[in-house]
């Protein structure tokens, strides 16, 4: 299991130091939540902030766009140093052409689905995707409870990825903790995003080690 700490739960006044802390604690990927106050009822940060943070670590930047019109900003996030860009199937942009914009920039494309969206929505795009992000909470805020019902979507995607002989990764995001991560692992998840469970823990390394151990 790869662990992607969500920086949403870090101390924003020490943003770069928090990335270094997550890196040293054994984070595999840095998960950066971009919110526009329109697609979700919360605001975070954008490409200029990510660009400044890029030099804090060599670990991949997984940029989760919770914004209404991702196609307008793909170039900015690519320039900022995103390695993976996820956007939501429920957004207002055209999915096919937004994926093309990401591909053209040599960034790894991913599609994210909210809890109310069936997994079938991503199937027409699966062959082009580096990753599918299955939300296990309503996007917008950290610290919510994991929705175990979402595991049927993970299982469906896992079957389809195997049947097509793809290596598309499955990521879950929201409510991942010591009490929930084994459920995600059993369903076939490759990457777990964890905000509160990592940055809210007294020791981030211990927290990440424990999460990984529970998946073995
Ligand atoms: C929610 C974000 C998540 C969030 C997860 O909209 O996409 O990445 O930070 O936080 P926790 O792990 O605390 O549920
Ligand atoms: Zn996220």
33 included as an active-site residue: yes
Can you give the chain as a three-state secondary structure string?
A: CEEEEEHHHCCHHHHHHHHHHHHHCCCCCEEEEEEECCCCCCECCCHHHHHHHHHHCCCCEEEEEECCCHHHCHHHHHHHCCCEEEEECCCCCCHHHHHHHHHHCCCEEEEEECCCCCHHHHHHHHHHCCEEEEECCCCCCCCCCCCHHHHHHHHHHHHHHHHCCCCCEEEEECCCCCCCHHHHHHHCCCEEEECHHHHCCCCHHHHHHHHHHCCC
Given a cut of 70, the residues of the chain with pLDDT beneath it are none
The pLDDT score that the predictor gives to residue 47 is 98
Task: Tell me the CATH architecture of domain 2-213.
Answer: Alpha-Beta Barrel (3.20)
Q: How far is the CA of 146 from the centre of ligand 1 (A)?
A: 10
The finding on whether 195 has its CB within 6 A of some atom of ligand 1 is: yes
The pLDDT score that the predictor gives to residue 123 is 98
Catalytic residue among 36, 62, 173, 190: 173
Query: pLDDT for 48-92, tens place per residue?
Result: 999 999 999 999 999 999 999 999 999 999 999 999 999 999 999
Q: Which residues contact 199 (CB under 8 A, 6 or more apart)?
A: 5, 6, 7, 9, 10, 11, 18, 22
The pLDDT score that the predictor gives to residue 25 is 98
Nearest atom, ligand 1, residue 176 CA: 12
Answering whether pTM is above 0.75, one says yes
Q: How far is the CA of 6 from the centre of ligand 2 (A)?
A: 6
Catalytic residue among 28, 33, 36, 62: 33
The pLDDT score that the predictor gives to residue 173 is 99
173 included as an active-site residue: yes
The pLDDT score that the predictor gives to residue 6 is 98
Mutational pocket test of ligand 1: of 61, 150, 193, the residue with most ligand atoms within 8 Å of the beta carbon: 193
Nearest atom, ligand 1, residue 139 CA: 6
The pLDDT score that the predictor gives to residue 75 is 98
CB 88 within 8 A of CB 130: no
Q: How far is the CA of 160 from the centre of ligand 2 (A)?
A: 23
Mutational pocket test of ligand 1: of 18, 144, 172, 208, the residue with most ligand atoms within 8 Å of the beta carbon: 144
Domain locations along the chain = 2-213
Residue 188: count other Cβ atoms within 10 Å of its Cβ. Answer: 16
């Amino acid at each position: 299991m790869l662990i992607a700490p969500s920086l949403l739960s870090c101390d924003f006044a020490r943003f770069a130091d928090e990335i270094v802390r997550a890196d040293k604690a054994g984070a595999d990927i840095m998960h950066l939540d971009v919110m526009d106050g329109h697609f979700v009822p919360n605001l975070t940060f954008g490409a200029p902030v990510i660009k400044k943070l890029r030099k804090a670590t060599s670990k991949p930047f997984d940029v989760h766009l919770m914004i209404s019109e991702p196609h307008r900003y793909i170039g900015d996030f690519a320039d900022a140093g995103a390695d993976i860009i996820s956007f939501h199937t429920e957004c207002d942009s055209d999915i096919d052409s937004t994926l093309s914009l990401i591909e053209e920039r040599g960034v790894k494309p991913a599609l994210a689905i909210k809890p109310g969206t069936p997994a079938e929505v991503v199937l027409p795009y699966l062959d082009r995707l580096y990753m599918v992000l299955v939300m296990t909470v309503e996007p917008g805020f950290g610290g919510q409870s994991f929705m175990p019902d979402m595991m049927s979507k993970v299982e469906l995607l896992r079957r389809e990825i195997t049947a097509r002989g793809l290596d598309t990764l499955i990521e879950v995001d929201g409510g991942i903790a010591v009490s929930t991560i084994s459920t995600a692992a059993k369903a076939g998840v490759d990457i777990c995003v964890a905000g509160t469970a990592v940055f809210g823990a007294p020791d981030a390394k211990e927290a990440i080690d424990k999460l990984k151990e529970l998946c073995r």
